[in-house]
């Protein structure tokens, strides 16, 4: 019987999950991190997974809540930690285990997809921009506030008229549009700067892999080959699960 993999990306704001039979995604979903309990009736109706693999960066309470949900099935969940080497990717973080497990899974997915140097961008609550070499080495990366967080920081620390919902404008003529456009420009600028740095290292311009809630907002602002992969972390978790299944020791 083919294994069934339940992959779970438990992030700061939301939780994404997918059920894969080794070939295709059979079911996928996303819920707010504070609404995990709503998963119980949906998961109860899933075919029982043979492997459960999780990237959790939302803290110990989120892990405890998930462990309770996983008790629906007689399978021990695998809680992913970053490693020095896995699935063809070598981790050059000063302390490899300190790298966020979601970033690690995303890097693995990007390497499986590209097999060459690339930038891996998660445009979520925080935005991470991570660099992979042409030989699968994670060279390092940056962390900045995400687009929404940048706006909230400004609104919380500076007196503005009630800004409302902003749109991207080349020449913003309202506070809401100015805040949103500024945050988007700042995020795009950080990515473009990392493109320049990695291009100098590789000797060619890297592909940029985008994921996260603001990926589609960010993509049109980048002057480079940027592709959006919706569930990059889940793809990386699937690769990790497959490798563990093939090499259990």
175-202 and 147-157 helices cross at what angle (nearest 10)? 130
Judge contact between 215 and 231, C-beta under 8 A: no
In the numeric block, the tokens 């080497």 are attached to: 85
Distances (CA, A) of 203 to 185, 199, 216: 26, 6, 28
User: How far, in Å, CA of 189 to CA of 224, rounded?
Assistant: 12
In the numeric block, the tokens 């940029």 are attached to: 208
Q: Is 102 one of the catalytic residues?
A: yes
Question: 9, 65, 102, 130: which one is catalytic?
Answer: 102
Active site residues: 102
């Amino acid at each position: 019987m083919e294994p069934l993999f339940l992959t779970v990306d438990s992030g700061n704001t939301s939780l994404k999950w997918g059920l894969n039979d080794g070939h295709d995604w059979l079911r996928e979903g996303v819920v707010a991190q504070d609404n995990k309990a709503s998963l119980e009736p949906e998961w109860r109706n899933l075919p029982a997974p043979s492997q459960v693999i999780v990237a959790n960066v939302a803290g110990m309470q989120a892990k405890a809540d998930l462990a309770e949900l996983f008790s629906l099935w007689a399978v021990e969940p695998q809680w992913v930690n970053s490693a020095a080497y896995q699935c063809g990717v070598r981790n050059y973080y000063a302390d490899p285990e300190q790298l966020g497990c979601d970033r690690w899974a995303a890097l693995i997915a990007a390497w499986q997809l590209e097999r060459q140097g690339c930038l891996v961008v998660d445009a979520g609550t925080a935005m991470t921009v991570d660099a992979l070499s042409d030989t699968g080495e994670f060279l390092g990366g940056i962390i900045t506030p995400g687009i929404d967080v940048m706006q909230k920081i400004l609104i919380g620390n500076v007196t503005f008229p009630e800004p409302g919902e902003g749109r991207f404008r080349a020449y913003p003529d309202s506070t809401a549009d100015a805040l949103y456009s500024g945050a988007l420009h700042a995020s795009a600028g950080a990515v473009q700067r990392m493109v320049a740095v990695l291009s100098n290292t590789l000797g060619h311009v890297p592909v940029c892999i985008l994921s996260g809630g603001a990926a589609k907002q960010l993509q049109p602002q980048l002057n480079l080959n940027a592709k959006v992969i919706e569930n990059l972390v889940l793809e990386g978790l699937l690769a990790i699960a497959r490798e563990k299944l093939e090499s259990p020791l």
